[in-house]
């Protein structure tokens, strides 16, 4: 079953979709957080397709547009990393109040910058976020934005505001200034099961940065490198591997929660630097 919904945060209406499996018991739920300049559907409909597969497996999904993105209120020019963290916090509060899901089994999944937003929320609210999955996370966000935006763009003036024109998107200088002092070390404090999936040919976030991040939190984290995949896993094969590995992670967690097993004892590290041909 699919429901269109919305919530209000900081005076802006955030529009979203809730996917609920047809079953008697309240299911676990995954909140999907899209990437920079993305939307709740994501590239080649990644989020929509993944959510539809989840409900076939008895897991609910919620996906919203951040303010200034997709169908939500606001201008993209005004977004900041902090504003997206605030939006994600409001999304989590909204989902936890839904009567049709199990609030004790709430998980986050974020792609690219949405992955780092998810990581911040998980670190700040570990009691509410039981598991975390990151697709191509922009673990060194400033470096990723520098690589993505600055080589082929120029500053322009919009009234009294400066902005950067990136492929028709106005990137506010407030966002860029915030990145200069952004400290994401708090995400390292999250100590519950985490899964990282990344493409070996990611053109936005080098796989070496993600492996370094994984090494800092590896006691409770799996990492899986999808060979030859780009930043948004843009082929049927990459997408299938991405979905299969993600389903395996969440279904393993759901199963062990039902059995009362401590999942931290059973999580293993996925592909290592030695195992992956992208390091050769």
What is the pLDDT, as a whole number, of residue 251? 87
Q: CB of 66 within 8 A of CB of 138?
A: no
pLDDT of residue 280: 23
Q: What is the mean pLDDT of each run of 10 residues along the chain (280 residues)?
A: 95 97 90 97 98 96 98 96 98 96 97 97 98 96 77 54 80 88 91 96 94 87 96 97 97 66 38 29
Sheet bearing 161-166, strands edge to edge: 155-158, 161-166, 169-172
- The pLDDT assigned to 278 comes to 26
pLDDT at 252: 77
pLDDT at 180: 83
Instruction: Return d(Cα 269, Cα 221) in angstroms, integer.
Output: 6
pLDDT confidence of residue 181: 87
Residue 134 CB partners (closer than 8 Å, separation 6+): 109, 110, 111, 115, 118, 119, 194, 195, 196, 197
What is the crossing angle of helices 46-56 and 236-259, to 10°? 40
> Which residue, among 6, 1, 34, has the nearest Cα to 91 in the 3D structure?
6
Q: What is the pTM of this model?
A: 0.89
Among left, alpha and beta (phi > 0; psi -120 to 50; other), residue 52 is alpha
Task: Identify the pLDDT of residue 217.
Answer: 84
CATH of domain 2-139+186-274: 3.40.50.1820
Which residue, among 114, 107, 262, 247, has the nearest Cα to 190 in the 3D structure? 107
CA distance 165 to 171: 6
pLDDT of residue 265: 31
Q: What is the pLDDT at residue 274?
A: 29
Per-residue pLDDT, 159? 53
């Amino acid at each position: 079953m699919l429901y269109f919904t919305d919530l209000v945060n900081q005076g802006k209406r955030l529009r979203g979709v809730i996917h609920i499996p047809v079953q008697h018991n309240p299911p676990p739920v995954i909140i999907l957080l899209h990437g920079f300049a993305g939307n709740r559907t994501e590239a080649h409909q990644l989020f929509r397709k993944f959510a539809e597969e989840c409900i076939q497996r008895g897991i609910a999904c919620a996906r919203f547009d951040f303010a200034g993105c997709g169908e939500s209120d606001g201008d993209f020019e005004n977004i900041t990393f902090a504003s997206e963290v605030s939006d994600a916090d409001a999304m989590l509060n909204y989902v936890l109040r839904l009567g049709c899901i199990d609030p004790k089994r709430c998980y986050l999944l974020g792609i690219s910058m949405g992955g780092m937003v998810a990581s911040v929320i998980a670190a700040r609210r570990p009691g509410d976020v039981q598991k975390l999955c990151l697709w191509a996370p922009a673990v060194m966000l400033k470096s990723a934005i520098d690589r993505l935006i600055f080589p082929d763009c120029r500053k322009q003036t919009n009234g009294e505001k400066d902005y950067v024109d990136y492929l028709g998107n106005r990137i506010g200088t407030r966002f860029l200034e915030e990145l200069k002092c952004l400290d994401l070390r708090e995400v390292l404090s999250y100590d519950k099961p985490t899964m990282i999936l990344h493409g070996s040919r990611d053109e936005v976030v080098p796989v070496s940065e993600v492996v370094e991040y994984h090494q800092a939190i590896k006691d409770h984290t799996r990492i899986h490198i999808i060979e030859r995949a780009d930043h948004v896993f843009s082929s049927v094969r990459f997408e299938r591997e991405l979905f299969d590995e993600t389903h395996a992670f969440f279904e393993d967690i759901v199963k062990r929660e039902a059995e009362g097993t401590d999942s931290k004892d059973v999580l293993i590290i996925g592909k290592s630097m030695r195992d992956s041909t992208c390091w050769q």
